[in-house]
């Protein structure tokens, strides 16, 4: 079971959500990523993603839940197509944010959700070492977000995209606030493939382990502008 480091229980705090797959493909095998979950409102509106790391614990981005009450968040598992009613759902019993979180660009963009109902799906192991962040390692990101920066509608179908990790010094050259302890970047120099709006909180998986969480960036899939992800090994072990 994953142990959570430096996390603080939060109930209600001021709203400061900053949501954030382009060039990807549809996930059509339910057994490929059963640990990928959607975060929705009670009415079913999907606003973020997450990863099931134990039957009742979900990792997501802090900005996805910051300002929301736990009871207002529903976690949906086992549902590739959000237009259907398959799979399982659970409200959130409580959640924790990384101690000191304020905004995604300042790091610590991670939250742990405790579900009221355990989910019957295979869980995603958390990466145990920082080797996963080596430049050019390729990870797979999952989400139901927009498929282009200019889109006004998100996808009801779960998508995935394979994206290479970018060297820390290269990312620091793009983002003045880049923090290599709290974050890592992934993207192609030419752009074209990236996570996007409403993919926030979704898992970035390297070698079958949770390495990152969709966090922030500038636009979606722009050239020389990689996406920024939470460096999960800093907060979970």
Q: Which residues pair with 194 in a beta bridge?
A: 22
Active-site hit among 90, 105, 195, 200: 200
Neighbours of 86 (CB within 10 A): 12
200 is catalytic: yes
Give the tokens for residue 111.
């939250």
236: closest CA among 207, 212, 217?
212
113: closest CA among 94, 89, 100?
94
28 is catalytic: no
Neighbours of 94 (CB within 10 A): 14
Report how far residue 90's alpha carbon sits from residue 56's, in angstroms, rounded to the nearest whole number: 9
Neighbours of 182 (CB within 10 A): 20
Active-site hit among 109, 179, 194, 198: 109
42 is catalytic: no
200: closest CA among 5, 17, 14, 25?
17
Report how far residue 179's alpha carbon sits from residue 168's, in angstroms, rounded to the nearest whole number: 9
Active-site hit among 63, 90, 179, 199: 63
The set of catalytic residues is 63, 109, 200
């Amino acid at each position: 079971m994953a142990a959570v480091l430096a996390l603080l229980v939060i109930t209600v705090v001021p709203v400061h959500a900053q949501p954030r797959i382009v060039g990807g493909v549809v996930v059509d095998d339910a057994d490929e990523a059963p640990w990928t979950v959607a975060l929705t409102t009670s009415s079913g509106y999907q606003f973020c993603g997450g990863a099931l790391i134990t039957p009742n614990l979900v990792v997501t981005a802090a900005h996805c839940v910051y300002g929301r009450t736990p009871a207002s968040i529903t976690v949906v598992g086992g549902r590739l197509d959000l237009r259907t009613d398959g799979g399982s759902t659970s409200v959130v019993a409580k959640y924790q944010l990384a101690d000191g979180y304020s905004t995604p660009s300042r790091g610590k963009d991670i939250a742990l959700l405790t579900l009221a109902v355990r989910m019957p799906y295979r869980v995603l192991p958390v990466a145990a070492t920082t080797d996963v962040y080596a430049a050019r390692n390729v990870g797979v990101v999952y989400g139901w977000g927009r498929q282009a920066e200019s889109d006004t509608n998100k996808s009801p179908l779960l998508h995935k995209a394979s994206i290479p990790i970018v060297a820390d010094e290269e990312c620091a050259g793009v983002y003045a606030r880049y923090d290599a302890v709290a974050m890592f970047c992934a993207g192609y120099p030419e752009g074209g493939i990236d996570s996007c709006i409403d993919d926030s909180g979704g898992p970035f998986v390297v070698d079958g382990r949770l390495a990152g969480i969709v966090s922030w960036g500038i636009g979606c899939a722009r050239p020389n502008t990689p996406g920024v992800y939470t460096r999960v090994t800093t907060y979970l072990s």
